[in-house]
Amino acid sequence: MEVDLPDVVAEVSAAFAAYEKALTSNDVATLNALFRNDYRTIRYGIGENLYGYDAIAAFRAARNPAGLMRDLSNTVITAYGRDTAVASTLFHRASAPGRVGRQMQTWVRFAEGWRIVAAHVSLIDTPDEKA
């Protein structure tokens, strides 16, 4: 298996950027489209465990759109072969000083394009980088 084929990393990077734009602008239709419409799709959030596309879509529809802007850092996209990739990033929000968010997504290429099949979001106190 080839890791980090440049064209695959570019494709997933573009999908990841589309997700981030949709997230921060509360474009629910695009967010829903980027998750695999399947009962096996999972999203573990900061305060929720969502099993299946329908639960994820319901969460998105009900989410408060205030305060979604954030800054990303340490984004890493790793492609495994031509059809699977993992996107990992840290995020920081002005509304959460002293905290850092962590996000990981597993992306898989389907006939309809790249889709998230598993996601995890968490928020922790900013680690002491000197330790």
Q: Phi then psi for 38, rounded to 5 degrees?
A: -160, 145
- pLDDT for 20-34, tens place per residue? 999 999 999 999 999
At which residue do the structure tokens 């990739």 appear? 85
121, 12, 128, 9: which is closest to 72 by C-alpha? 121
As a whole number, mean pLDDT of residues 50-75 equals 94
Confidence of residue 67 (pLDDT cuts 50, 70, 90): confident
As a whole number, mean pLDDT of residues 87-106 equals 95
The H or E element containing residue 99 is strand 99-110
- pTM, entire model: 0.94
What's the token pair of residue 93? 């929000």
